[in-house]
Amino acid sequence: MKCSESWLREWVNPTLTRDELCAVLTMAGLEVEGVMPVAKDFSGIVVGHILKVIKHPEADRLYVCEVDVGEAGILKIVCGADNVREGMKVPVAVMNATLPNNTVISSTNIKGIISHGMLCSATELGLAEESQGLLALSQDAPIGQDLNSYLKLDDYVIDISITPNRGDCLSVRGMAREISALTQSPLLEVEPILQKESIHHVTHTVSVEDKAGCPVYVGCVIRNVNADTVTPVWLKERLRRSGIRSISPIVDVTNYVMLELGQPMHAFDLDAINQGIVVRKSKEGEKIALLDGSVKQLDAETLIIADEKNPLAIAGVMGGIDSSVTLLTKDIFLESAFFTPQVVARQRQYYGITSESAYRFERGVDPTMQRKALERATQLIIEMTGGEASPVIEIKDQDYLTILSRAISLTQDKITRVLGVMLTEEKVEKIFQALRFPFKKQNAGWIVNVPLYRFDITLPEDLVEEIARLYGYDKIPMHALKAELQVVHVHGEAKDLRALRQLLSDLSYHEVISYSFIDKQRQVLLDPQANPCELMNPITADMAVMRTNLWPGLMNTFLYNKDRQQHRVRIFEIGTCFVKQDKALLQQTKLGGLITGLVDPEQWGTSVRETDFYDVKGDIEGILKRFMLNNLVTFKSDSHPALHPGQTAGIYHGEKKIGIFGALHPLVLQALDISGAVFVFEMDLAFMEVGEGGRFQEVAKFPEIRRDIAILVNQAIPARDIQDTIKLVAGNWLKDIFIFDVYQGKGILPGLKSIALALVLQHPTRTLVDSEVAALIERVISTLRMKLGAELRR
C-alpha cells in the first residue's frame, strides 16, 4: 500500500523522523518496502493566472497567452495546449526555471513571437505518466505561489507491504491507528460533515435478499450533481501519490474515501436503475458488461447488485458499464456496503477479475464503517459537484455483527509462556488501551473484546502476538534452546517412511512434493471417475480442486522437466489424497510414481533401451517385496480411463485392490502434447508395512537345488497362474521361482507359448536328494498339465 507521509501525519503525527517512523512500522510487522519523493526536482514553477488567450498569427495550433505570475508581472507565453483558456490557473515555468528533465527555461522566439516562459502539463512536471493538456489548478490557488509549496510536494510516498491478514491497515485511517498504537500518539479522526437532507422522498427502493453475503448495505441518492466539473488538484494529488489514476470527480471521491477510511464504494447513474436496487444471487446465464470492458456470463452463485431487470454490478468486485457515472450524469445512487470476504473472494477468483475493492473486501473491511464512509463521500461530492442528498437508507443484519463479535480469554501465564518474558499487568493493559481493545480484568488475566475490524485475531496466541509487537520484538531477551533428548517408540499405527524413500532413491527415483490443490481440468483428465472436492476460495484457477490421486502433481513436474529438455524422468511422491465417500471426505496417504525415457542414463557400456511396462512392474515388485511381509499381493489385468487398455494392471492384497499402474492412455498423451510412453503407478500406503523393524532369520545351512523346466501352454494363460500353481505343489521347499525365457514362433504351434521357469528348492532342516527333487518336479508337471493343459517342452 502506498500512502503519502503528509496525509498520514494529518491523522497522527508522532515526534519521529521519517526514517524512525519507517523503522517502527517494519519492526511491528508492517514492512516498509520503499520511500520515494512524490515528485521529481524542479524549481522556478509558480501558480499563474491566464488573463488573455489569442490565436498565434503564424500558427493555427498555437496560442499567445498573457499570464499573471505575481511578482514577475504579466508574461507573454506561447502555448500549444488544446485546453488553454482565459481564467485558468496553471503551473508556469518562469525565466531560468528548471524542469525535472533539467531543461532551463529561457526566452524563445516561436514563429516570430518571443515566449517568456512555459505553461506546464502534469507530465512535464513529472506528476503523471501521461496527461492531456495543461495541469488545471484550483481557482483559489494564490497567484505567484511556488508550485512546490502550493501542492505540498515536499512530501514522500511510503510503500508498505501489508500482509493478507491485516486488511485493517489498507487505509490511511488504519495505518494511522496502527502508528498511534505503536507510538502512543493521539489519533486525529476526520469526522464527516453531515449534509442537510434536501430530498425527503426516494422513489427507488432498496432490498437485500442475501443477507449472509451482504449483512450491511447503506445508500443514498444525490440529485443535480455536475459530473462534468474538475476534480480538485489536492484530491488528484492524494490519489496519484497512492497509485490511483484520477478519472472523474464522483469516481475520484469514491476512491479517495476507500483510501482514507478503507471502505470500498460505488456510484450508480440513478437514471440507469430500473425501479429499485436489490442485492441478490444471480440467475444462471445472466450477463453483465463490466467497467473493464469484459462481458461475464454469471452462474447461480454470484452475489450481485441488480435492479428490477438486470444486474448492475458484481458485488464487491466491479460495477457494470451500463449503470456507470458519466459526464452527463445528473443523479446518482451512492452505495456503501459490507460484503463477506468469502463471497467476494469466490467471485473475484471465479471470474478472474482484480480490483482495489475486491482486494480490500477479501481481507475484511470494518463492518461498522459503511455509514460514516457514505456520509464522508456525500460531503465531498456535494462540495465538488453540488447536488442535494436524500436520507440515508441503511439495511443491517445485527445478528451477523453479533456473530462477528469475539471475546477472548487471556492469562498472564499464557503471555509469559509464549514470549518467555514477564510483563506487568499494567504494561499489558496499556498495550490493550493503545490498540483500542476493550477488556475486562479477571482473576488470572483478562477478557478482551476484539474490534470487528480485526479479522486476524481469533485466538489467545493472536493477542500475545499483538502484545509482542507493541512491546517490541527487540526487547524480548534471547535464550539458548534447551531440549531433553530421548528415544521415542513409534506407535504401531504410525508409519516411518524413511526406508521407503531410501528404497525409491536407490531405484533412481527423485522425490517431489506438490500441492494438494490442482487444476480441475488436469484432475478430470487423469482421474475422470472421481468427484473431487472443489474449493470455495481457490488461490488461483489452476488450484481449484483437491486431488484424488497423485498423478496430476507428478505430471506437472514431468512437464516442467520435459520443457527443459530432461527426457529421462523417474519421480515419486508420498502425499495425502482426498476422496469423497458419501458425505465424508477421506484422507488417504498414497505413494505415486512416474517414469519415462531411458531405463538407464545413456552411456557407452550398455545398450540404449526405453522404459517399458515391465520395468515399472519390476520396481513395484521390489517395493512390495521389501514392505509387504506376506505373499498375498497379486497383479491382475485392469482398466482405468487415463491408462492404456492393454498396459494396465491392478495391485491386489488378497481381494482388496490397493493400487494400479500402467502406461498413460494415448488420448491423455495427446492432450498433454507428450510423445513417447509415460508410465505411472499409485499404491495405498495403508496396506504397506512401512517403518516396521527388520525381521531376521538364520542363514540356511543346506544347499539350494535349481531345476529348470520349459512348458508349452495356451498363450492366454497368465504367467502368474503358472507360478501360483507351482507354489501350491512345491510348498515350503520352493525358495524362489522366476521366468527366464518366453518364446513364440518357429516350432511352436499357433495359440501356444513356451515359458521357461527356474525353480530354486531348499529344505529348511536337511539336504534334499535327487530322487525327492525329481518326484517333486514330476508332480509339478503333472499338476500343470491337469489344471492348465500345459505340456513339458521336449
pLDDT (tens digit per residue) in 12-54 = 999 999 999 999 999 999 999 999 999 889 999 999 999 999 9
State residue 580's pLDDT score.
87
State residue 495's pLDDT score.
64
Give dist(CA 176, CA 189) in Å, integer. Answer: 9
120 secondary structure, DSSP code? -
Cβ-proximal residues to 101 (8 Å cutoff; 6+ apart), any chain: none
State residue 131's pLDDT score.
78
Interval 545-575: pLDDT, tens: 999 999 999 999 999 999 999 989 999 999 9
Give dist(CA 613, CA 642) in Å, integer. Answer: 15
427-432-438-443 Cα dihedral, nearest 10 degrees:
-40
Q: Distances in Å between the alpha carbon of 397 and those of 188, 212, 213, 361, 401?
A: 30, 9, 11, 17, 7
Flag whether pLDDT at 430 surpasses 70: yes
Flag whether pLDDT at 58 surpasses 60: yes
- With contact defined as beta carbons under 8 Å apart, do 320 and 335 qualify? no
Residue positions counted in the chain: 794
Backbone angles phi, psi at 109, to 5 degrees: -85, 115
Distance of CA 171 to the CA centre of its chain: 22
Per-residue pLDDT averaged across 124-149, rounded? 89
State residue 197's pLDDT score.
66
pTM: 0.71
- pLDDT averaged over every residue in the chain: 90
Give dist(CA 727, CA 733) in Å, integer. Answer: 9
Backbone angles phi, psi at 267, to 5 degrees: -120, 130
State residue 132's pLDDT score.
81
Flag whether pLDDT at 631 surpasses 80: no
- With contact defined as beta carbons under 8 Å apart, do 56 and 111 qualify? yes
Return the number of other C-beta atoms located less than 10 Å from residue 134's C-beta.
23
State residue 690's pLDDT score.
54
Give dist(CA 327, CA 324) in Å, integer. Answer: 10
Interval 496-515: pLDDT, tens: 788 889 999 999 999 999 99
Cβ-proximal residues to 559 (8 Å cutoff; 6+ apart), any chain: 672, 674
Interval 211-245: pLDDT, tens: 999 999 999 999 999 998 889 989 999 999 999 98
270 secondary structure, DSSP code? G
| Beta strands 752-761 and 705-714, pairing class | antiparallel
Per-residue pLDDT averaged across 719-730, rounded? 89
Give dist(CA 794, CA 709) in Å, integer. Answer: 10
Give dist(CA 277, CA 272) in Å, integer. Answer: 11
Distance of CA 212 to the CA centre of its chain: 24
Lowest-pLDDT range of 466-480, 527-541, 726-740: 527-541
Residue 745 carries which side chain, given as an amino acid letter? G
- With contact defined as beta carbons under 8 Å apart, do 43 and 193 qualify? no
Burial (CB < 10 A; 0-12, 13-18, 19+), residue 230, is: middle
